[in-house]
Amino acid sequence: MATTNLNIRTEKDIKDQAEKIFNELGLNMTTAINIFLRTAIREHGIPFELKLEEPNDITAAAIEEGRKLLSDSSAPRYSSMEALKEALEV
């Protein structure tokens, strides 16, 4: 299969940010662009989301609250769902 060079222009910070994400996914820039191009051809359009999972603000706050509760020995503990439901009066 013959190959060709593809030269594109983009802002440096955009390239750097994308490269960081691709590296975390185990990809280099060439592989990531080839994945995009092949999939776009197969799907006849921009076909996918490829991203790292990052919690939204609400989820991140809930995770932080959970961590604080875990480290607080005075926080209530429940040994079963039934005990938790009873405490919540559900």
Residue 90, pLDDT score: 84
Residue 53, pLDDT score: 84
Q: Which two tokens stand for residue 50?
A: 């490829």
Counts of helices then strands in the chain (DSSP H, E): 4, 0
- pLDDT-above-90 percentage for the chain: 86
On the CB side of 9, CA atoms within 13 Å amount to 0
In tens, the pLDDT along 24-48 reads: 999 999 999 999 999 999 999 988 8
| 49 within a domain of the structure (yes/no) | no
What end-to-end distance do the CA atoms of the chain give, in Å? 64
- What average pLDDT score do residues 69-80 get? 92
| 7 within a domain of the structure (yes/no) | no
- Per the prediction, the chain carries an average pLDDT of 93
pTM comes to 0.54
CA–CA gap between residue 90 and residue 7 (Å, rounded): 61
Structural domain for 71, as ranges? 57-88
